[in-house]
């Protein structure tokens, strides 16, 4: 949900694009395809402030810790 929230913030400032154009930016292996890249993009364009960026990064770190844990 957090990653979706960052995408919605960024997307709300974008021009209308085709599905393929959006996929070229945000799809798998695209420049802004990762949660981290979306956070950096939103922060760079002043769509989120430093506190919110830091909060999203903490959520990302926690999610990654669970996703890459060596045990189920």
8 or 69, higher pLDDT: 8
What pLDDT does residue 45 have? 97
Tell me how far apart the terminal alpha carbons of the chain are, to the nearest angstrom.
22
CA 34, 6, 27, 44 torsion-angle sign: negative
DSSP 47: S
For residues 33 and 54, give the distance between their C-alpha atoms in angstroms, rounded to a whole number. 19
Q: pLDDT by residue (tens digit) across 17-61?
A: 999 999 999 999 999 999 999 999 999 999 999 999 999 999 999
pTM reported for the whole predicted model: 0.86
């Amino acid at each position: 949900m957090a990653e979706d929230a960052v995408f919605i913030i960024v997307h709300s400032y974008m021009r209308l694009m085709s599905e393929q154009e959006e996929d070229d930016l945000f799809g798998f292996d695209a420049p802004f395809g990762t949660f981290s890249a979306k956070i950096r993009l939103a922060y760079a364009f002043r769509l989120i402030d430093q506190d919110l960026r830091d909060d999203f990064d903490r959520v990302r770190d926690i999610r990654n810790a669970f996703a890459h844990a060596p045990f189920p």
